[in-house]
Structure 1
Amino acid sequence: MSHYLSSTPAPQGTLIAEDGHKVPLAHLYAKRPLLLQFSRHLGCVFCIDHAKQLLQNYETFTRHNLEVALVIMGGAEEAKKFREALKLTFPVYGDPDQNVYQAFEVPRGTVWQVAGPHLWWAGLKALTRSGIGRPRGDLMQLSGTYLIDTNGQIVWDFRPSSSVEFPDIDKILVAADTLTPISDA
């Protein structure tokens, strides 16, 4: 479910870049608002599919003055492999101990929310579109999407009720447009 938030400070934390360097989260939204996407476990068919949707819309996000960053539960090497395998043009960061996931209160799910029979058809469709990886990480972790302005405030978020739910791209753009005007570039 998506929410517009009024002045909720983004938690502080450190992510791992592909080169192994520690990156303070605040550096990611210092110059432009940030669309911060937390992925489920590595290999999640829904997350792979959503990462591809973010890639397809990346130019649109940049026209709406948004930086995009994807966070996975792995380290530097996994972040690099994930980005390269999907040919993502935005950065992927690792959070191997899930400290930043916990700081943002990214929800965890029940067995019903992550693998219930009501998700199987959507899973089959996502598998057909995007393939599957080997599950690694916290299989009960759900995803989470956060829009952070340059003042470090979370202005919009999306917390799913199941592993298949991700925010509609248009809703992200509407939320982004409340921050800055659309670029003509």
Structure 2
Amino acid sequence: MTNNILLVGVGGQGTILASKLLTIGLLESGYDVKMSEIHGMSQRGGSVSSHVRYGDKVESPVIELGGADILVSFEKMEALRYLNYLKPNGIVVVNDFEINSMPILSGKLDYPENAVEVLKSKAKTIVIDGAKEAETIGNSKVMNVILLGTIIKSMKLEDIDWDKILRDNIKPKLIDINLKALEVGMNLV
């Protein structure tokens, strides 16, 4: 059986780092893992998606439409953009956070005011305020690791040695705050 996790956000939010940490943890636990990442028009500010598939044997790195077990969105509008990738019984974890894209900044589009309500009407949705949680623990840049914690808990991956994964892959001066962020994220779901 293959499990499918789709992480989406905007460039600069740490979506790719979170997916890489997730992939490393899954690989070190013996799963067959495939990861694919897609960057938008610009690395910082463009749409970013990362497909992580794991199980006994994974053939393709890309999640098909309607195939994601969980959609984790670092930004609300990105959750709406990628909702068609979610399985009918899948879960959305959405960060209650807005980043205005260039079409919105230029006035060509309006940011959807009811993004969370739309998500809740279409799928089981867990809403978190990752920015507030990150500020509470003292570093706004760990929002991505908080969201990683929500994936770990939602997908029942707590038995992996995430402490080791973070220690091996995060700068030493940032390990403690990231360990705390991971714990906070796991406690949000």
Higher RCO (C-alpha 8 Å, min separation 6): 1
What TM-score do the two structures reach when normalised by structure 1? 0.33
User: So what's the TM-score if we normalise by structure 2?
Assistant: 0.33
Higher share of residues assigned helix: 2
